Amino acid sequence: MLEIKPELSAAYPLNIARARSIEGWMSDVELLYLAFQAYQAKDILEIGSWCGRSTRALVDNTQGHVVAVDTWAASGDEWQKEFWSASMILESDWQFKYFTENMSDVQDKLEVYRGLSTHAAMNYAALQRQFDFIFIDASHDYKNVVLDINAWKPLVRPGGVLAGHDYDPKRWPDVVRAVNELLPEASNVVDHIWAIRIKGDENGNGSDSNTISDGL
């Protein structure tokens, strides 16, 4: 596993202060990983933004553009209830409102796609959009992780990185199983983030490599 050393923040102007102020599950080292990827990328897409913790780490550290894909539909999943408060539950559509508030000062760098991950992937593929960095943190069951990897991998620009959250065999065995089966060369880069650099031949057909020479 790659280590994020304290010198990283000093060597690069990475900013995770706003991201850290937003509820979510990403650790500091994971936010730094996203920040560092964003620092090097122009076209970024994230699937699963929730309140925007990971989104802010991306937006605040890129000179480019971030697409945030999410349904922002309260699903009732146990993992979401950890952060629910009575006032939030009473307010309809609170997740999307809270996300929008958290992004109010970075609208110029953000494109919001509200809808299902697989629909978004079909639409962006039809538009021939490609991305330098795609980060998957949506549904964590086996079927949906497989759907997400298969839908989004072709949209990573050759040389770009496909990554995802919750590579955690104890809490999310389905994520680990799907990643190991579909992307056996992926690495567990920091904490619970997996990643793979997508290589491409001259015709744009991707082949995978686990060489993540990010210096993290």
Ligand X SMILES: C[S@@+](CC[C@H](N)C(=O)[O-])C[C@H]1O[C@@H](n2cnc3c(N)ncnc32)[C@H](O)[C@@H]1O
In the complex, the residues that contact ligand X under the rule CB under 6 A are 24-26, 48-51, 53-54, 69-73, 116-117, 137-139, 144
Q: Of 50 and 132, which has the nearer Cβ to ligand X?
A: 50
CB nearer to ligand X: pick between 51 and 149: 51
Report the nearest approach of ligand X to the CB of residue 41 (Å).
Answer: 17
Closest separation in Å from C-beta 72 to ligand X: 6
Distance from the Cα of residue 104 to its chain's centroid? 20
CB of 49 to ligand X, least distance (A): 6
CA distance between the termini of the chain: 10
Which residue's Cβ has the minimum distance to ligand X? 24
In sequence order, the 6+-apart residues with CB closer than 8 A to the CB of 124 are: 45, 67, 155
Nearer to ligand X, 129 or 199 (CB): 129
- CB 89, min distance to ligand X, A: 15
Give the three-class secondary structure for 127. Answer: coil
- If one counts every other C-beta atom within 10 angstroms of the C-beta of residue 25, the result is 15
Closest approach of ligand X to the CB of residue 27, in Å: 10
d(CA 10, CA 123): 39
C-alpha closest to that of 41 among 163, 137, 147: 163
Residue 117 vs 187, nearer CB to ligand X: 117
Chain-centroid distance of CA 127 in Å reads 21
Is residue 48 within 8 A of residue 95, CB to CB? The reply is no
Sign of the dihedral defined by the CA atoms of residues 206, 215, 21, 19, in that order:
negative
Nearer to ligand X, 45 or 116 (CB): 116
127-158 in b/e form (b: 16+ CB < 10 A) is eeebbbbbbbbbbbebebbbbbbebbbebbbb
Query: 53 or 157: whose CB is closer to ligand X?
Result: 53
The least distance separating ligand X from the CB of residue 91, rounded to whole angstroms, comes to 16
Phi, then psi, of 72 in degrees rounded to 5 = 45, 45
